[in-house]
A and B are shown apart, each in its own frame.
Chain A
Amino acid sequence: DDGLLSMFSKETKIDLDVDGYFPPMARREAVEWMLKVNAFHGFTSLTVVLAVNYLDRFLTSFRFQRDDGNKPWMIHLVAVACLSLAAKVEEAHVPLLLDLHVGEIRYVFESKTIQRMELLILSTLKWKMHPITPLSFLNHIIRRLGLKIHLHWELLKKC
């Protein structure tokens, strides 16, 4: 299948080795926070998948400094900006930056700060904001099934 092959060729591997800059729990907390906000705003699954993809790519390609790991707000700021970008890529209705501060908030960033981080992420990710994700494969394969039964549609809707 050409479509699948093309997706395989475009898929990039992310080596999650944050090299001890951040405590091991930091990424996990960031992802959990993203999932919460995603649910709160009713974003699609693809949005949060994209956001996590951006987060991981940023964490692995940005050259952090030694003591950045001692700044827990930093990874949270990255998470906020990643989610904001993902929402803008994927969602029909995107909240204001300040409205991304939901749930148990440990840090609040002003919009301008988030905007700068958005730019830093866009730049670091080389403006490649449409990576191949597991959802791309699911979507493709389910469509190939022909969507003959209701269950297929249901599954696709959840992707």
Chain B
Amino acid sequence: MAIAGAGQLNLHESPCWGSRSVDCFEKLEQISEGTYGQVYMAREIKTGEIVALKKIRMDNERGFPITAIREIKILKKLHHENVIKLKESVTSQGAKDEQGRPGKCCPIPINNLLLGATKYSPAVDMWSVGCIFAELLHGKLIFPGKDEPEQLNKIFELCGAPDEVNWPGVSKIPWYNNFKPTRPMKRRLREALGNQEKAPATATTRRKGQTTEITAFTASCRLPPIQSGQAHAQMRPGPNPPLHGSQPPVAAGPGHHHGKPRGPAGGPGRYPANGTNGGFNHQNHGGGYSSGPYPPQGRGAPYGSSGMPGAGPRGSGGSGYGVGAPNYSQDGPTEVLVLDVALT
């Protein structure tokens, strides 16, 4: 086994590739900041067009974030006037590493990891789905906190305080001790959202039941991703139902890839099917690599002037999408910005 080691890697040159840089845009103001990055209002310098600029943070262990890949994938498929359109992806020469900075939540707690949990998992998506359902029912934001502590407090007020019963593993999550409520808080989701006069007529009792369940604090929960509309079968009505425990995954319909048997699980980074840490608190996974024969972290990529050369400017291909990245820098992490179109 050979390591692509220091001698082979030219780290100092900055090949140019792709075609558009974030420098084509002028940031006007920050709109929000979430676990995965910040969103800015920005203006395209050339055209004056106002866009939303979403900055994606890189993940050191996982590379380009899967959440961004999925977001791009889904946004490309969605064409609706109420859904923001993805205009372009550009890269920037990396600002300094922003990992580990306490994230302030955006006003909508969708897709946020709570309490410093670092592990993105299906449970996070379930939480987001629950929040969206609840907001549809409620007609407005359900956790309108202006920062993370305030937002967490609003979540606790509505959903009850998290503890080891409703969220196994929560006490091991990094910021749990900093933010745990000082007084006991009861779950009052049903009271708050159960009798929505303003709720759309389509909000049937059954849907309310689902909302209650999905936003349960058992977000670390083994709730399977919604599949073919079957997920609700797992969601029993009734207050405060503990959804933890080893629920069998919903059998997906044939042809659905979630239902396929998987190869050997158990490598680091798999979502645990059960167990106390419930998919969160994974900061130390990947242990066992540190002593391995890997080059020390912090070295750049093994392509440089004599490696991967500048590809030269490429045309945008006319798709207006993913026009790539210029000025690839070997210094510091490079970030990719996903541009959403017009905030008009």
- A residues with CB within 8 A of B: 39-44, 46, 62-65, 67-68, 71, 73-74, 77, 81, 84-85, 88-90, 92-99, 105-120, 122-130, 147, 153, 156-157
Contacts and interface: CB of A to CB of B under 8 A. Distances in A.
A23 to B, nearest CB: 16
A81 B91 CA distance: 18
B248 to A, nearest CB: 16
Given A67-B306, A94-B269, A127-B321, A115 B58 contact: yes
Contacts of A153: 254-255
Contact of A115 (B63, B295, B302): B63
Interface string B288-318: 0100111111111111001111111010110
Given A113-B300, A126-B321, A107 B1 contact: yes
User: Looking at chain A's contact residues, is the secondary structure mostly helix, strand, loop, or mixed?
Assistant: helix
Nearest to B64: A118
B297 A85 contact: no
A134 B66 CA distance: 24
A98 B92 CA distance: 25
Contacts of A92: 122, 225, 257-258
Question: Which of B73, B264, B303 counts the most A-chain CB atoms under 10 A from its CB?
Answer: B303
Interface of B: 1-4, 8, 17-18, 58-64, 66, 69-70, 72-73, 76, 89, 91, 122, 225, 254-255, 257-258, 260-265, 267-271, 285-286, 289, 292-303, 306-312, 314, 316-317, 319, 321-325, 328, 333-334, 336
Given A94-B62, A96-B62, 14 more contacts: A63-B312, A64-B309, A71-B8, A73-B2, A77-B4, A85-B69, A97-B63, A106-B1, A107-B1, A108-B4, A112-B298, A112-B300, A116-B334, A147-B255
A83 B262 CA distance: 17
Contacts, number: 201
User: Looking at chain B's contact residues, is the secondary structure mostly helix, strand, loop, or mixed?
Assistant: loop
Give the top 3 A-B pairs by smallest Cβ distance, nearest first.
A127-B322, A42-B263, A123-B324
Contact of A117 (B72, B271, B293, B301): B301
A116 B300 contact: yes
A106 B17 contact: no
A147 B253 CA distance: 12
Contacts of B70: 88-89
Contacts of A116: 300-301, 303, 328, 334
Given A74-B302, A156-B255, A108 B286 contact: no
24 contacts: A39-B263, A40-B263, A42-B263, A44-B257, A71-B307, A73-B8, A81-B63, A94-B66, A96-B269, A98-B289, A99-B269, A106-B2, A110-B294, A110-B295, A111-B62, A111-B63, A112-B298, A113-B300, A119-B325, A122-B322, A124-B314, A126-B321, A128-B322, A157-B255
A99 B310 CA distance: 30
A89 to B, nearest CB: 6
Given A44-B260, A112-B60, A62 B269 contact: no
Contacts of B255: 147, 153, 156-157
Question: Which of A44, A85, A126, A153 counts the most B-chain CB atoms under 10 A from its CB?
Answer: A126
A43 B17 CA distance: 31
Contact of B69 (A63, A88, A107, A115): A88
Contact of B270 (A85, A95, A122): A95
A128 to B, nearest CB: 6
A94 B73 CA distance: 16
B1 A115 contact: no
Given A92-B225, A95-B267, A63 B309 contact: yes
Contact of A85 (B64, B89, B308): B64
B263 A118 contact: no
B269 to A, nearest CB: 4
